[in-house]
Amino acid sequence: MALVMITNDDGFRAPGLRALAAAVREIARVVVVAPERDSSAASHSLTMRRPVRVRDHGGGVFSVDGTPTDCVILGTNRLLPRRPDLVVSGINPGPNLGDDVNYSGTVSAAVEAATLGIAAFAVSVCDYEPEDYSRPAAIARRIAARILAGGMPPGVLFNVNCPVSPRGVRFTRQGRRAYEGAITELADPWGRPHYWIGGGTPVDDGGPDADTAAVEAGYVSITPLRIDRTSHETLATLAAEWGDLW
Ligand SMILES: [Mg+2]
């Protein structure tokens, strides 16, 4: 039977993770290795300057006192009985579209798995407080079954975003998403300024074939991402244009 590791960035108690694990358990053996606490926007950070503790909750559920990347490294190398056939990260409450992927702990867990040579995808639902995760969980199970049967190209992961009521699936490229008003300046009781980073209004600029546009139109967006970020177009002309640099 296929072995799937489930992780997330919201913590091992998160309802999205439980829904995902339950859905994938219908088609594979599942082991959960997830952060002890909410690590949203942890990106790809690694805990290197203190020890990392693991708690075994029984029934194939482990929590890690660290980041999503720590979970993938420890899960796939130490905690699972063998290297998994697939790592699935989510289900994150809130979309991970366009530039979000650079901050997302959910997506970074899948990036780490792909870096280790393991098939992986990340799933997010486009609702910050979803009442139920059954639609994205069913879609994740279908994608997992497809990958377990047919594999994935090496060095590639899927970033999946599911609207609340999806009307179909679109295969997309990563769009752009900036946040306006994402810095809030406040004064402490002594009048000294301090800041909150986060929130703000997303401003999308990705074109009609982007992840942002697909979700806006009500479709599940599946974006294949590469761990190799080389700009091949730039590389092709760089030697000619910058050949006199040395
Ligand atoms: Mg999160």
The CATH number covering residue 219 comes to: 3.40.1210.10
Straight-line distance from the first to the last Cα atom of the chain, in angstroms, rounded to the nearest whole number: 56
pTM (predicted TM-score): 0.94
- In the reported structure, the alpha carbon of residue 96 is separated from the centroid of ligand 1 by a whole-number distance in angstroms of 9
Range of the domain at 212: 3-174+202-229
- 105 with 41: CB under 8 angstroms? yes
- In the reported structure, the alpha carbon of residue 137 is separated from the centroid of ligand 1 by a whole-number distance in angstroms of 16
pLDDT of residue 36: 97
- In the reported structure, the alpha carbon of residue 97 is separated from the centroid of ligand 1 by a whole-number distance in angstroms of 13
Q: Which residues contact 122 (CB under 8 A, 6 or more apart)?
A: 88, 89, 90, 92, 96, 104, 106, 107, 109, 110, 157, 158, 159, 160
Percent of the chain with pLDDT over 70: 100
Q: Does 237 map to a domain?
A: no
- In the reported structure, the alpha carbon of residue 219 is separated from the centroid of ligand 1 by a whole-number distance in angstroms of 21
- In the reported structure, the alpha carbon of residue 192 is separated from the centroid of ligand 1 by a whole-number distance in angstroms of 31
Q: Does 128 map to a domain?
A: yes
Residue 41 has pLDDT above 90, yes or no: no
**Tokens describing residue 228:** 């190799």
Q: Which residues contact 194 (CB under 8 A, 6 or more apart)?
A: 185, 186, 187, 188
For 21-35, the pLDDT digits (tens) are 999 999 999 999 999
Q: Does 185 map to a domain?
A: no
Q: What is the DSSP letter of 28?
A: S
